[in-house]
Amino acid sequence: MILKKRFESDELLILRYLNRRIKLNEKDKFRYLNLEKGFEGEIKFDQLIENIQEERLILNDLLLEVNNSYFQIDTLIISQGIIYLIDIKNFEGDCYMESDKIFSVKTRWEYKNPINQLKRSETLFSQLLRILKCNYLVESTAIFINPHFTLYQASMDNSIILPSQVNRFISNLNNVPSKLTNSDKQLAKKLLSLHHPKTPFSLPPSYHYDQLQKGVYCNKCISYYMSIEKYNFVCGNCGEREKISKVILRHINEFKLLLPGQKITTKIISEWCNTELNRRTICRVLKNNFEAVGKTKETYYR
């Protein structure tokens, strides 16, 4: 049973939206593509454990803290007497391992060693369990999910699961019987309450409203070539149709995330969407989805 679903982090969303509206510098673009890729791998893993057998609780994307040290867990599975901490890596291509480090064969770049990250999380999580007076076996695993990944000179460390071993890992997991008790469920609740929703360590790139490209774009192919037909926006590139109110709401939410300090008014959202749409339509979407503050021309929404 999934107790906490996985969503894109704010950082990924911000970079994704920015990438559609400005030219990211190389560093931000690299960061963005890495986050996108990582998320894709996590979703792939989620699909694999969707129908996990026996009684188990799944908590995705936890950010926890012990003694001022933060650690993140991609997937945490509570089983009878045992907790699995899983880190999912979507590395692609040929890599090799050398004295505990992972390098790309092509670029010789060093990747952050997932095993070290994992061991750190395991240590911190075990401390947390002791603080909570809970007694579980903790097993941590780094799963390389991408079928196009090869790791030369991999150590036979059983905390590494290579692409060809992923299915076996899941069937082994399914074969372990598990009945959960109330205290297992209590622990899950406690962990959810300890989760930090905002990452303390990621700074989005700096940008200004004026730099961002305005306009509505297609949700499917990201083309800004959109026209209006009755109640829909229609994409001139791929033909995708989306209800006008839905498109506007999607763009308001994007505005809110990208420009959290800005007041949301009909005027600014009209400018943001930059369409031939009547202001009244935009005003209606705002009224239906947000709370209006003030009653004059200065009305804004939150």
Question: Smaller CB distance to Zn ion: residue 177 or 236?
Answer: 236
CB of 166 to Zn ion, least distance (A): 33
CB of 280 to Zn ion, least distance (A): 26
Question: Smaller CB distance to Zn ion: residue 172 or 227?
Answer: 227
Question: Smaller CB distance to Zn ion: residue 221 or 293?
Answer: 221
CB of 215 to Zn ion, least distance (A): 13
CB of 12 to Zn ion, least distance (A): 21
Class of residue 68 by CB neighbours under 10 A (exposed 0-12, middle 13-18, buried 19+): exposed
76-84, 166-174, 212-220, 264-272 -> range binding Zn ion (CB under 5 A)? 212-220
Long-range contacts of 5-11 (CB under 8 A, 24+ apart): 5/60, 6/42, 6/43, 6/46, 6/60, 6/61, 7/61, 8/39, 9/35, 9/39, 9/61, 9/199, 9/202, 10/198, 10/199, 10/257, 11/35, 11/199, 11/202, 11/204
Question: Smaller CB distance to Zn ion: residue 132 or 221?
Answer: 221
Instruction: Spell out, one character per residue from 214 to 233, where the chain touches Zn ion: x when CB under 5 A holds, - when not.
Output: ----x-xx-x----------
Token pair 């790791």 in the structure block, residue:
151
CB 82 within 8 A of CB 139: yes
Question: Smaller CB distance to Zn ion: residue 126 or 237?
Answer: 237
DSSP 207: -
**53 φ, ψ (degrees, to nearest 5):** -85, 165
Question: Smaller CB distance to Zn ion: residue 28 or 240?
Answer: 240
> Which residues within the stretch 231-260 sit at the binding site for Zn ion (CB under 5 A)?
235, 237-238, 240
Distance, CA of 179 to CA of 54 (rounded, Å): 7
Instruction: Spell out, one character per residue from 36 to 75, where the chain touches Zn ion: x when CB under 5 A holds, - when not.
Output: ----------------------------------------
Question: Smaller CB distance to Zn ion: residue 189 or 243?
Answer: 243
CB of 240 to Zn ion, least distance (A): 4
CB of 236 to Zn ion, least distance (A): 8
Q: Please give the full DSSP string across 45-70, using - where no structure is assigned.
A: HHHHTTT--SS-EEEEEEEEEETTEE
| Partners of residue 235 on adjacent β-strands | 226
CB of 177 to Zn ion, least distance (A): 48
7-15, 65-73, 211-219, 280-288 -> range binding Zn ion (CB under 5 A)? 211-219
Among 249, 248, 226, 251, smallest CA distance to 237 is for 226
Instruction: Spell out, one character per residue from 170 to 209, where the chain touches Zn ion: x when CB under 5 A holds, - when not.
Output: ----------------------------------------
CB of 221 to Zn ion, least distance (A): 3
Among 128, 65, 142, 60, smallest CA distance to 97 is for 142
CB within 8 A of 218, min separation 6: which ones? 224, 225, 226, 233, 235, 237, 238, 240, 242
Site residue total, Zn ion (CB under 5 A): 8
CB of 219 to Zn ion, least distance (A): 8
CB within 8 A of 129, min separation 6: which ones? 83, 135, 136, 138
Question: Smaller CB distance to Zn ion: residue 192 or 238?
Answer: 238
Residues that bind Zn ion (CB under 5 A): 218, 220-221, 223, 235, 237-238, 240
